[in-house]
Amino acid sequence: MAREDERRQVEQAQALLNRALEARWRQWKGYVSELQAELAITQAEDAPEADLTETDAPVRRRARLDAATRKELQAVVEARRQQWQAQEEQAAREAGQPARDSEAVYAQLLAHIQNELDGTAHPAGKVLLWDAGALVTYDAALAQAGTSEADYLTVRGGAAPLGRQALLVGGAAVAAVALMIGTVVVFFGPSRPPARADADTLRVNGVVMTPWAVDTAAVGGVVDAAPELRGLLPLVWCANGRARDAAEPGATVVLTGTAAVRRFQVQPGASDLALADCGATPPRVAAKAQLVAAVTAQDLDAAVLRSLAVWGPDTDPQAIPATQMQVVLTVALPDAGGGTLILADGRRWAATRSRAVDGGTELTYLVPLSPTAQLAGWELAGGAGLPQLLALTVPAPTSRMQLLRDVLLVQIGEPQPVVREGVPTAALTLTLTLDAHAAPLTLLASDLAATAGGTPLPVTWEPPALRPGQTTQVALTVPLPAQGGLELALAAWRVRVVARDA
């Protein structure tokens, strides 16, 4: 009885969370539509021909949002706008070309956010939205055609609500009522194109959509290894007689391809899939089915990720450009060098190098520098099957100072007073040991600091290249101040040197 009560409590909490997340999705849909309408009005008013022609003005829209919610969403959009503009200007500088107009960048950002909300920006067709300070995804497991644009828009110039927008295209939910919580993960890459496409096309919001590839179709234990499919909405499976006979109400239909596995249920009045006798003229529909679930990727177990390290440009200035950071992933998968890292800005990055390690693969990526942690994903092509996806968080890069503290052991020998060119000088020998599990590391002249009363002192030494698990001795000299002593610092090591007669 106690377990049943616990189960009910969990289900109730899940339902409450689902409703809250769906409400946030609707808020975002309305707000982005409002911003796009405002931008369209501004562009129409600023057009050179605006005073010379008479055309219908874009419709002004206003989302139903309270003041606190509007302020929160506005702050997120503004932060992302600044990020996109900075990236645009940096790319223009690197290419030696002028940057695009800020309004064009803003329009592209709004279109990208709209794609996130529609599920077309995610390689697995999942809905993306900002909630509680993070970009999260949800599985739209059951796309219902009952959602209309009027559900998340408040005013359309006083006109009647728009027609239904909930379309199922290639199995990706453009709009969904029942949103099922998925793993918190960010995948921004473009939707994976089908392996093959029919001649039939469907235009949604000006974009031509094509059907997904299907290699096998099955219903009630009857398998068609070379199915013929036609159309888009609804999709028509030209099923043989055995398959049509097996399509009884409640039966499960499974369409399997290299980009998706989709499961339908035979239901009277369904509209997503039709099983038809295409030998008849016109084709005779024997049964209809509703989409129940779509799997476009295999989720990798979190245990696959052995380690994740991020190094900033100060860690290795020769190998890492000033505007980039190095992400090193180790996964418990052999021959995984083709894995793609997908960051929060939607760009996909191939590994700059990879190497086999014991029972797995180490991959190194050079990506744009980010001062904060970000949700991301790692994707591995599935060959003949579905791609494999791993959710992960890419932390902010580790500073060089922290790196040295973590992996370097420093010991000092007895300082010896010497005179160099008439200047009293301290000669020292450092014994440096690099952690056996660290990567090879070359010290920089700036890693060793010498000061006297806060004033920097010159140090004469040759920074060595260190190997994991090995010990290296380094000789150095530093001038002694006229009064007091001096302080030396390297990694977590600190020492004060004072002349005996001081």
Residue 163 has pLDDT above 50, yes or no: no
The mean pLDDT of 358-370, rounded to a whole number, is 92
Residue 462 has pLDDT above 90, yes or no: yes
**Residue 205 or 327, more confident:** 327
pLDDT at 104: 87
- 2-11, 16-25, 125-134, 213-222 — which is least confidently predicted? 2-11
Residue 245 has pLDDT above 90, yes or no: yes
Report helix, strand and coil shares of the chain as percent, to nearest 5: 25, 35, 40
For helices 102-118 and 67-95, angle between their N-to-C axes, nearest 10 degrees: 120
Please, which pLDDT band fits residue 189 given cuts at 50, 70 and 90?
A: very low
Cβ neighbours of residue 455 closer than 8 Å, sequence gap 6 or more: none
Please, which pLDDT band fits residue 194 given cuts at 50, 70 and 90?
A: very low
**The residue count for the chain:** 502
Rg of the chain over Cα atoms, rounded to whole angstroms, equals 31
Q: CA torsion 274→278→284→288, rounded to 10°?
A: -10
Residue 176 has pLDDT above 80, yes or no: no
**Residue 134 or 160, more confident:** 134
Cis peptide before 395 (omega within 30 of 0): no
pLDDT at 173: 28
What domains lie within the chain, and their CATH numbers?
2-136+151-158+166-171 (no CATH), 213-296 (no CATH), 299-398 (2.60.40), 405-498 (2.60.40.1240)
Residue pointed to by tokens 């009952």? 146
How far apart CA 309 and CA 466 sit, in angstroms, is 19
How far apart CA 250 and CA 256 sit, in angstroms, is 19
DSSP state of 46: H
Please, which pLDDT band fits residue 44 given cuts at 50, 70 and 90?
A: confident
The mean pLDDT of 168-196, rounded to a whole number, is 29
How far apart CA 366 and CA 304 sit, in angstroms, is 21
Residue 130 has pLDDT above 80, yes or no: no
- Residue range 307-361, pLDDT digits in tens: 998 989 888 888 889 899 999 999 999 989 889 898 876 678 899 999 999 889 9
Residue 297 has pLDDT above 50, yes or no: yes
pLDDT at 11: 54
**Residue 435 or 26, more confident:** 435
How far apart CA 450 and CA 475 sit, in angstroms, is 14
